[in-house]
Structures are given as structure tokens and as C-alpha cells.
Amino acid sequence: MANQEQATLALKNPHVIFEGDSFTLWTNQSGQFWNNTYVIVDRESGVLALVDPLDDCLENWSVFLEEQNRPLDSILITHAHIDHVAGVAQLLNAYPGVKIYAHADGVPLMKAEDIPMLTGGIETLEQYANQFSLPMYQPAESTDSLSEGDSIHIGKTTFEILYTPGHCPGHIAFQNRMTLISGDVIYKGSVGFTHIPGSDADVLADTILDKFMVLSDEVVIYPGHGNTTTIGDERATNPFIVEALGESS
């Protein structure tokens, strides 16, 4: 039991998951759905960008952020489901002026404009948060919009934007060479759910085939939940993808 608790604590604490020539990728994992939050650190400038903050993000990352040579520069959002944006408002309060990058189609959900319509009937913000065992959600809004073909610069490091709908309106992914921060499109052995308004199984399948399966097998996927994987492993073993590839051939 002690070893299991130590392993869980290690995952919850920020740790390096990738170290490249131009940037270092840090991560931690928390929440009942094993959410991954990532921090991209440009090696030359020290510029920092944080990806998909859960509600405990400030608690888990504040010491790390205080130890850096620069303040947090930006927050990148793959998609606006509550378990990927619940920490945005807290981070904005702690780091005023931080830029929030997201796709425009996800803004209504981030702002909680119409919870029943966007969540399939959940009536209140409190109920919405309770569905994910999270505290009351604080609505937030992006400062900058990202779309297919755009690039985001984190110091000298550049990530290309892939528009990846199907799981959530305005879902995007971030790619730098062999690194793909994928949000909830693909997990190790599974794919994002498609049973609430704004999601669509056929659209998600097209996204996976047209945006991800055209990439090299060696591209490493850093998903929104669970363990890291690769395009090659998912192409060969993910039952949802194997089925989609068979139907498209």
C-alpha cells in the first residue's frame, strides 16, 4: 500500500516527462479521472505555458512556478470540458495578465453560458461540478483564439495547432515535431467519449483518421488522461482505431 501511495504522490507532483532540444515538458496527474496537466518550458528563454488546468492546479504547481526564472506566460486549452478548465480562474487571480488560448467554439462552455444545452440537461453550475467531483466552477474566458493552421510561440518553441473536433466543440491539439499534446481525442487504448451535446462519434473518427493517423508512428501522444502512448501503438492496438481504419480501407 505504501508503494502505491508513493507512486500516486509522484504522479501528482510536477515531474519532467520529456526533455528536448528546445523545450522541456513537465506534467502531473490528479483528480478521479487521472487528468494530466502539462507545463511547457522553453529552454532558451524560460517562458512557461500551462496546458489544461484542473481545479487543484494552483495547489500542485505554485511551488514549481515560483521557482522558475519567469512568471507564467500563458494557459493553453485543448477543450473546455470542466475537468480541463476548472483551474483557469484561479490561475488568472494568481497571475494577472496571463494569456488564455483556446478555440472560439469552446468559449461558450468555458463561460458557462448555457449549461443545460451544453451538457445534455445538467441544470446548474453546482450540478455540473458535482458530476466531476469538483468544487463550484468559476467561469472563465479566453483572451486569444487558436484555429487549425495557427502556431503558438512559447519563447523560441513553436507548437502547431490541429483542429480536432468530435469529443468537444472547439477541441484542438498542440504538436511540436514528435510531441503531440492531444487532449481527449485519444487515450492509451481508448478514445474520447461522444455521448453528450457537442460530441459526435463520426466526427471524432474522422479527426483520428485525418489528423492523427497521418502522423509518424514515432509521434508521442501526451493525452488529457492516463498514460503516454504513441501513434504507432494506438494504430496497432487501440480497438476503436483499428476498427475505424478497417472501415476506411
Q: Please write the tens of the pLDDT for every residue from 42-80.
A: 999 999 999 999 989 999 999 999 999 888 999 999 999
Name the more confident of 6 and 89.
89
- Please state, in angstroms and rounded to a whole number, the distance separating the CA atoms of residues 94 and 62: 9
Name the more confident of 113 and 73.
73
Of all residues in the chain, the percent with pLDDT exceeding 90 is 70
Looking at the predicted structure, is the pLDDT value of residue 4 above 50?
A: no
Q: For residue 94, is it within any domain?
A: yes
Q: For residue 47, is it within any domain?
A: yes
* Structural domain boundaries enclosing 178: 7-248
DSSP 131-161: HTT-PPP-----SEE--TT-EEEETTEEEEE
Of all residues in the chain, the percent with pLDDT exceeding 70 is 91
Do residues 167 and 193 lie in contact, with contact meaning Cβ atoms separated by under 8 Å?
yes
Q: For residue 116, is it within any domain?
A: yes
- Please state, in angstroms and rounded to a whole number, the distance separating the CA atoms of residues 69 and 63: 12
Q: For residue 2, is it within any domain?
A: no
pLDDT at 2: 46
pLDDT at 119: 64
User: What CATH number is associated with residue 57?
Assistant: 3.60.15.10
Do residues 161 and 170 lie in contact, with contact meaning Cβ atoms separated by under 8 Å?
no
Q: What is the pTM of this model?
A: 0.91
Q: Which helix (H) or strand (E) holds 187?
A: strand 186-187
Q: For residue 1, is it within any domain?
A: no
Please, how many CA atoms are within 13 Å of residue 160, restricted to the half-sphere of its CB? 10
CB atoms within 10 A of CB 243: 11
Alpha-helix residue ranges (DSSP H) falling in 68-140: 82-85, 88-94, 107-110, 115-119, 125-131
Residues 140-194 pLDDT 10s = 899 999 999 999 999 999 999 999 999 999 999 999 999 999 999 999 999 999 9
Q: Which residues contact 168 (CB under 8 A, 6 or more apart)?
A: 79, 80, 81, 106, 109, 184, 192, 198, 199
pLDDT at 53: 95
pLDDT at 71: 87
Residues 72-106 pLDDT 10s = 999 999 999 888 998 999 999 999 999 999 999 99
Over residues 28-47, mean pLDDT: 93
pLDDT band, residue 127 (cuts 50/70/90): confident
Which of 90-99, 120-129, 138-147, 216-225 holds the top average pLDDT? 216-225
Do residues 161 and 152 lie in contact, with contact meaning Cβ atoms separated by under 8 Å?
yes
pLDDT band, residue 116 (cuts 50/70/90): low
pLDDT at 1: 44
Residue with cell 483518421: 209
What is the number of structural domains in the chain? 1
pLDDT at 117: 62
